[in-house]
Amino acid sequence: MSTIAQQFGMQEALHALGIKEINDGTSTGSNSFSSGPIIESYSPVDGQLIGKVKTTTAADYEKVMQSATEAFKFFRAMPAPQRGEIVRQFGNKLRELKEPLGKLVSYEMGKSLQEGYGEVQEMIDICDFAVGLSRQLNGQTIPSERPGHVMREQWHSIGVVGIISAFNFPVAVWSWNTALAWICGDVCVWKGSEKAPICTIACQNIIAEVLKANNLPEGISCIVNGDYTVGEMITNDTRIPLVSATGSTRMGRIVGAKVAERFGKSLLELGGNNAIIITPTADLKVVVPGAVFGAVGTAGQRCTSTRRLIIHESVYDKVRDAIVGAYGQLTIGNPLDQKNHIGPLIDTDAVNTYLAAIEKAKAEGGKVLVEGGVLSGEGYESGCYVKPAIIEAENHFEIVQHETFAPILYLMKYEGEVENAIDLQNGVAQGLSSAIMTNSMKEAEKFLSFAGSDCGIANVNIGTSGAEIGGAFGGEKETGGGRESGSDAWKVYMRRQTNTVNYSDQLPLAQGIKFDL
């Protein structure tokens, strides 16, 4: 075990999460049935091997699906408040294990320890939300046009929910889906990212313990391990009526088309190309932390990361200088050490993508304000640490039009009224998160109006990153249109049914149709 892992108690954290071996251990997690080739998980923090995970073969997958489909027959008949009680217990286990699970997220994925803890807190919060919701899966009564009749709507469990999640939030996004799916009476089959498989196993171990303590079928929560070929098993499976997939737009196009082809439902959370508009009345005390955290938090590997600052020409120089100055205060290094603001990218492939994007921006005419580059030397042995870069650019640059999952921030000017800035913000293919910094009520309301931001998330005087679970999370255009987490997102995990009951001794037909015999 590395010095960093020892110093920050990773061995103890893994043991607390039911993962008994490190470096030479192989684990599949409860109810994964995996027996295929090995995935090795290396930490981007120090380049050290964390553990090994067996991948799921086609035969293994069939065992998982048999377990899940049998469990669904039982679970859907369980009253929703009782299902909520299981989620409550799961949330309490997460409270107990917040520290070790947060450490594992930080060590395996590379985000700061505070962000690792925050991700587990999101899991706890969605459990709390779901527990209350388990007593509110309400339908409605609808007036009937026929005498002696009543119409109703009710909601039923949908079945096995397939979840495909990404490395950047290796535990939270799964919980957004599962907590709601479980209280709706669904069971889940989860393919976590092959770049953070130990996190997947840790979560499965936690819920498996809760299910066992309540004498419930383990098939309520299943995992499969592996690359995109394992995800394809979920995508193509007609026994899975809903696939929730988080990842790139490229991946979403494939998943959405395949699921639609078999008339399934898909919930897609895809790429973002998020902007903050900074108007002449914006308060720099709000602008600087909001923009900087949005751009460099999780090393720019959030789908809600701030990619573009659209700054009014009258305050451009002042804002630019303040942001550049703040970048000079950032510390980069071991994310388990809380004095550091920024950890590593997930792997060297991500580093190469980052470097290529900077060169592309330069080639298109971008002006580098804060130089990027790869860090080396003591503490940076993994080769995954990079410097956040700031580049003056134009919105129409090809590289600006695409999402780069790295800490690269593009600065650009707008002239005239706020509508011009909104046009720039909306002038990309993605539509996830957006923000405006202003003290003008008129500008804020224009930004939030039907003619304003075209994103699923639109914020005023906060950044693009850091959503709360109470609101529905998701975006439009190439972001996929899905909604997870709060509000009425639960409805996607259920099927709607309209009922008409005739309690009279006549049979009047709708629309007054006569059919006399």
Q: What CATH number should be reported for the domain holding residue 21?
A: 3.40.605.10
Tens-digit pLDDT profile for residues 103-147: 999 999 999 999 999 999 999 999 999 999 999 999 999 999 999
Averaged over 79-92, what is the pLDDT? 98
Residue bearing tokens 């639109």: 458
Least confident of 394-398, 402-406, 483-487, 512-516: 512-516
Look up 269 and say whether it is catalytic. Answer: yes
Domain count, the chain: 2
> Both 197 and 125 in a single domain?
yes
Supply angle C-alpha 56, 60, 65, rounded to 5.
110
> Both 288 and 259 in a single domain?
no
**SS3 of 255, please?**
helix
Whether 228 maps to a domain, the answer reads yes
In the predicted structure, residue 414 carries a pLDDT above the cut 50: yes
Cβ neighbours of residue 15 closer than 8 Å, sequence gap 6 or more: none
Q: What is the mean pLDDT of the chain?
A: 96
Question: How deeply is 465 buried, as exposed, middle or buried, from its count of CB atoms within 10 A (0-12, 13-18, 19+)?
Answer: buried
pLDDT band at 158 (very low <50, low <70, confident <90, very high): very high
In the predicted structure, residue 314 carries a pLDDT above the cut 80: yes
In the predicted structure, residue 406 carries a pLDDT above the cut 80: yes
pLDDT at 25: 40
pLDDT band at 290 (very low <50, low <70, confident <90, very high): very high
> Both 239 and 335 in a single domain?
no
Query: Burial code of 142-167, b = ≥16 C-beta within 10 A, e = fewer?
Result: eebebeebeeeeebebbbbbbbbbbb
- The CA distance from 406 to 350, in Å, is 8
pLDDT band at 89 (very low <50, low <70, confident <90, very high): very high
In the predicted structure, residue 400 carries a pLDDT above the cut 90: yes
Tens-digit pLDDT profile for residues 347-366: 999 999 999 999 999 999 99
pLDDT at 29: 56
Cβ neighbours of residue 26 closer than 8 Å, sequence gap 6 or more: 38, 51, 52, 53, 54
> Both 206 and 295 in a single domain?
no
In the predicted structure, residue 22 carries a pLDDT above the cut 80: no
> Both 233 and 360 in a single domain?
no
pLDDT band at 21 (very low <50, low <70, confident <90, very high): low
> Both 489 and 464 in a single domain?
no
- Phi/psi region, residue 154 (left: phi>0; alpha: psi -120 to 50; beta: rest), is beta
**SS3 of 13, please?**
helix
- The CA distance from 403 to 395, in Å, is 12
Averaged over 280-295, what is the pLDDT? 98
* Rg of the Cα atoms in the chain: 25
> Both 309 and 435 in a single domain?
yes
Whether 141 maps to a domain, the answer reads yes
Cβ pair 410, 389 in contact under 8 A = no
pLDDT at 20: 76
Polymer length of the chain: 517
> Both 151 and 166 in a single domain?
yes
> Both 238 and 287 in a single domain?
no
Tens-digit pLDDT profile for residues 26-83: 455 555 678 899 999 999 999 999 999 999 999 999 999 999 999 999 999 999 999 9
- The CA distance from 30 to 267, in Å, is 26
Whether 477 maps to a domain, the answer reads no
pLDDT at 42: 97
> Both 241 and 283 in a single domain?
no
Tens-digit pLDDT profile for residues 176-223: 999 999 999 999 999 999 999 999 999 999 999 999 999 999 999 999
Cβ pair 72, 186 in contact under 8 A = yes
pLDDT at 3: 87
Q: Which domain holds residue 128?
A: 3-270+482-496
Q: What CATH number should be reported for the domain holding residue 328?
A: 3.40.309.10
Whether 501 maps to a domain, the answer reads no
Which entry of 122, 194, 269, 484 is annotated as an active-site residue? 269
- The closest alpha carbon to 37, from 235, 227, 228, 200, belongs to 227
Cβ pair 55, 39 in contact under 8 A = yes
Question: How deeply is 387 buried, as exposed, middle or buried, from its count of CB atoms within 10 A (0-12, 13-18, 19+)?
Answer: middle
Calculate the dihedral angle through the C-alpha atoms of 425, 430, 436, 442, rounding to the nearest 10 degrees. Answer: 70
> Both 234 and 246 in a single domain?
yes
- Phi/psi region, residue 31 (left: phi>0; alpha: psi -120 to 50; beta: rest), is left
**SS3 of 418, please?**
helix
**SS3 of 279, please?**
coil
Calculate the dihedral angle through the C-alpha atoms of 321, 272, 303, 406, rounding to the nearest 10 degrees. Answer: -50
Averaged over 285-308, what is the pLDDT? 98
Whether 510 maps to a domain, the answer reads no
In the predicted structure, residue 337 carries a pLDDT above the cut 50: yes
Where is 132: in which H helix or E strand?
A: helix 113-133
> Both 261 and 281 in a single domain?
no
pLDDT band at 23 (very low <50, low <70, confident <90, very high): very low
The percentage of the chain sitting over the pLDDT mark of 70, rounded to a whole number, equals: 97
